[in-house]
Structure 1
Amino acid sequence: MADTPLSPNAPLPHAAASSVPCDVLVVGAGPAGLAAAAALAEQGLGVTVLSAAAGPDEHAPWPNTYGVWLDEVEGLGYAPLLAHRWHDTVAHFGRGEVALGRTYGRFDNGRLQRHLLERCVRGGVRWRRGRAAGATHTANASLVHLQDGAAVPARLVLDASGHAPALVARRGRERPAFQTAYGVLGTFSAPPVAPGKMLLMDFRDDFLPPGERGRDPTFLYAMDMTGGRFFVEETSLARRPGLPMAVLKDRLQRRLAHLGVAVQETLELEHCAFPMGLPLPDRQQRVVGLGGAASMVHPASGYMIAATLRAAPALARTLASALGAPHATPQRAAEAAWQTLWSDARVRQRQLYLFGLEGLLRLDGPQLRDFFSAFFALPPHRWQGYLAGTLSTPEIARTMTAMFAHVPGGVRGALIRTALGRHGGLLLRALGAPL
């Protein structure tokens, strides 16, 4: 059940109409929800978090792993929360190892969660157990209806409940691609990656029989976790529909066997599947989003955690200013928040990223190797900014133009077919056509 508006002056159901106990109700307590709640509280707003846990001491561990580039989180104050850092970060596209010259990190989920919860506690954030089922709105407040029949009032609602949000409504009918991955944290008979190294991508497929090479390309993502432990993951960058887990598991087993490596002890398994290129949220709606609920996954790389942590303070400042303004209304505050997250300029940037995603979906294994070989040969500020989502629209266009000039003819042909096909409108909207 998504946004359900009431008539502008209708009273809120139940006794909540006369007393709204918080400024912002945050739905969800993952990284996006807690980052938003902490930042909002630090702006002096009254915040309640709606989650399956009823307090800051009851939250279950987050199941996903979060990898980031160190330089993207240093300025945000999150670098001390990384469990591991790899200064020796490499990739392999079939023509020898490529040194990326950029430090990669992996969050300690427990420390990140505790850090955000502690900020929430210091800011006076309150907690409510439950799951959102829908929302109704009046001119001055909202009421979030829970699956158990209860309801929670607030001046404004922020949905951070993930890729299939409880309350945020999306516009458009774009069919997303999916990034899927199967991973193992464990001990091995021999190092699956050189000790001390982090392998961002290994697209080689010589471990497959000739008839399977090039089809449904996947890559190895692997890292030395120290203490004799390694993490290895077979990843499908983007596919529509997503590549099944069974295929990824089989690929990983065959890749390891080809390397002469066997799993000795499995400490953790990871099954990862998330959408890339979801439709954007309706920027006029009363519910604000963040993270997956706001379609913030980078459409061409799958990165999101750093962008979400970066967006939370800016979003909180916008909401504090808008809710504290003379004659403030929740509708105006929500519209200001959506403009902070998805201004027209950001939407146009995203059109180019979506075009890049559609181009990637056309490439087979050898073409993907050629593509990424050229991509990581770009000047570092170009490929780093592209992956971070921090380039302007002209900068993204210049990066794509440089790529187009350096990729082989087969890749160039696939990109031309994307531009001339039904996805060519993405380019036109990025360059100024009506959104």
Structure 2
Amino acid sequence: MTTDVLIIGAGPAGLALAAALCDAGLRVEGVTPTDPTTPWRNTYGIWEDELPSPEFASMLSHRWSDCVAYAGGQTLRLERIYGLFDNRRLQAHLLHRCTRAGMRWHRQPAQWAEHTATHTEVTLQDGSLVRARLVVDASGHTPVFVKRPLAIEIAYQAAYGVVGAFTRPPVRPGRLVLMDYRSDHLSSEERRAEPPTFLYAMDLGDDRYFVEETSLAHAPAVPFEMLKTRLHRRLAHLGCTVAEVEHEEYCLFPMNMPVPYLDQPVLGYGGAASMVHPASGYQVGAALRLAAPLAQTLARALSAANASPQQAIRAGWEVLWSQERLRKHQLYLFGLQTLLSLSEAQLQQFFARFFRLPVRLWGGYLSNTLTTAEIMQTMGRVFLAAPMQLRWALIREAMRHPKPLLRAAGLLPILHTPSVI
């Protein structure tokens, strides 16, 4: 039997889209090398205003209205509510929507795929075959089937964190610290020569806290050992140590993977579709928000008269990577490249100006909800508010790497030469 859509992967992105496809009335099957109920290891934060619908608010384990960032010698109050997902609740909710629609899971890796004009046949590890009108690869940053251009240099966000009890509170009770770039615990030589990192921390209640030393982006990735050492040095400087470890978190993912080829016979989603936001590293919020519109687009395309998988896939890629979204992405890549070029002191100056912008601008920038014109306005306002030394650094970076700006302006083509698959 041929199913409508085969989903590869059962992480947050894969399950979000699978649930939305089931809700849209499509026949959906899934392929995952592990049980789809396997707990997700990482923590997932989100701004409350990014939730796709009110029902997802009940899947937050914590909410903070006291949110701050520290940069440039300033305490920057972030007038926005931040939440932390309860992974088990979110996963169970998405799986329930799949189960009630009768979705079937194949618990083994996908090996290869053969494409025809009417369907794709996927061979699994044991040699069995699954036939689908359309395949969506949501298997992560190193996808099974999705093809993308070769990357010259990949910048990675890396983080090491601890959930547990501490000898004294590492952050003010009831507070969420989005970024703490204070670096008094480092020597002047370390601040000058080593990659900048910041503390991401939150009060989880009941004397439990989550603290994480994070490298926003660096090429190559900052080693976990450096992050772990820096975290404990920072905590010692704050006068506290870890008393009990409940969970250790190691997080590493690419920030600037090339956009996949948009002419290929499979559709990507999540990390496989390069949906990580280059400005923040966040992805789960976008995966939840785009799941329903993408599912509805695919359902319409597959139900159309004389529908073909190729037409549906093209329609799906248009939802994820329209020309407008591609132009915006180029601006975000320019912003990321600029941050990679800044010293630790300049980076602090940058964020001290960035978080002084109106919430609709800095919030929209981090949520990827601004228009191209609004992104340029946000960049311009940070530039005008920056001290002269930082302005020159931003100008130099624009002169060294002008292509993203030229692509965003339509003066250079955005995509690489299409693939032949």
TM-score tier, shorter chain, comes to over 0.9
Counterpart contact for 2:279–2:335, Cα < 8 Å: yes
**1:38 corresponds to:** 19
Whole-angstrom distance in 2 between the partners of 1:239 and 1:307? 23
Whole-angstrom distance in 1 between the partners of 2:285 and 2:54? 9
**1:384 corresponds to:** 363
**2:381 corresponds to:** 402
Report whether the alignment pairs 1:120 with 2:98: yes
Whole-angstrom distance in 1 between the partners of 2:63 and 2:52? 12
Q: Deviations over 1:144-181 (max 9, x none)?
A: 12233332111100011111111111135342200000
| 1:222 pairs with one of 201, 214, 222 | 201
One-letter amino acid of the counterpart of residue 381, structure 1: R
In the TM superposition, residue 121 of structure 1 has moved relative to its aligned partner by: 1.1
Q: Deviations over 1:91-139 (max 9, x none)?
A: 1114232111111000000000000001111222111111122211000
- Bigger shift: 345-354 or 129-138? 129-138
Report whether the alignment pairs 1:281 with 2:260: yes
**1:11 corresponds to:** none
| 1:133 pairs with one of 108, 111, 118 | 111
**1:302 corresponds to:** 281
- Bigger shift: 311-320 or 207-216? 207-216
SS of alignment partner, residue 155 of structure 1? strand
One-letter amino acid of the counterpart of residue 98, structure 1: L
RMSD of aligned alpha carbons: 1.2
In the TM superposition, residue 74 of structure 1 has moved relative to its aligned partner by: 5.7
Whole-angstrom distance in 2 between the partners of 1:409 and 1:147? 59
One-letter amino acid of the counterpart of residue 143, structure 2: P
Whole-angstrom distance in 2 between the partners of 1:74 and 1:142? 31
Counterpart contact for 2:349–2:386, Cα < 8 Å: yes
| 1:432 pairs with one of 375, 386, 410 | 410
| 1:267 pairs with one of 231, 246, 263 | 246
In the TM superposition, residue 212 of structure 1 has moved relative to its aligned partner by: 0.8
Q: Give the structure-2-normalised TM-score.
A: 0.96
Counterpart contact for 1:132–1:167, Cα < 8 Å: no
Whole-angstrom distance in 2 between the partners of 1:242 and 1:149? 37
**1:201 corresponds to:** 179
Q: Deviations over 1:258-316 (max 9, x none)?
A: 11101100000000000001010111111111110100000121111101101111110
**1:244 corresponds to:** 223
**1:415 corresponds to:** 394
Whole-angstrom distance in 1 between the partners of 2:152 and 2:202? 34
Counterpart contact for 2:52–2:289, Cα < 8 Å: no
In the TM superposition, residue 76 of structure 1 has moved relative to its aligned partner by: 5.7
Counterpart contact for 1:351–1:427, Cα < 8 Å: yes
**2:419 corresponds to:** none
Counterpart contact for 1:172–1:280, Cα < 8 Å: no
In the TM superposition, residue 210 of structure 1 has moved relative to its aligned partner by: 2.1
Q: Give the structure-1-normalised TM-score.
A: 0.93
**1:375 corresponds to:** 354
Whole-angstrom distance in 1 between the partners of 2:407 and 2:320? 18
Whole-angstrom distance in 2 between the partners of 1:133 and 1:352? 36
Counterpart contact for 1:76–1:310, Cα < 8 Å: no
Report whether the alignment pairs 1:364 with 2:364: no
SS of alignment partner, residue 394 of structure 2? helix
**2:157 corresponds to:** 179
Report whether the alignment pairs 1:98 with 2:92: no
Report whether the alignment pairs 1:292 with 2:271: yes
Whole-angstrom distance in 1 between the partners of 2:21 and 2:300? 11
Report whether the alignment pairs 1:48 with 2:29: yes
Distance 1:244 1:171, change over 3 A: same
- Listed as ranges, the gaps of 5+ residues in structure 1 are 1-18
**1:319 corresponds to:** 298
Number of equivalences: 412
Report whether the alignment pairs 1:145 with 2:123: yes
Report whether the alignment pairs 1:59 with 2:37: yes
SS of alignment partner, residue 208 of structure 1? coil
Whole-angstrom distance in 1 between the partners of 2:328 and 2:139? 25
- Listed as ranges, the gaps of 5+ residues in structure 2 are 415-421
One-letter amino acid of the counterpart of residue 193, structure 1: V
Counterpart contact for 2:158–2:251, Cα < 8 Å: yes
Task: State the percentage of identical aligned residues.
Answer: 54
Whole-angstrom distance in 2 between the partners of 1:94 and 1:419? 23
One-letter amino acid of the counterpart of residue 110, structure 2: A
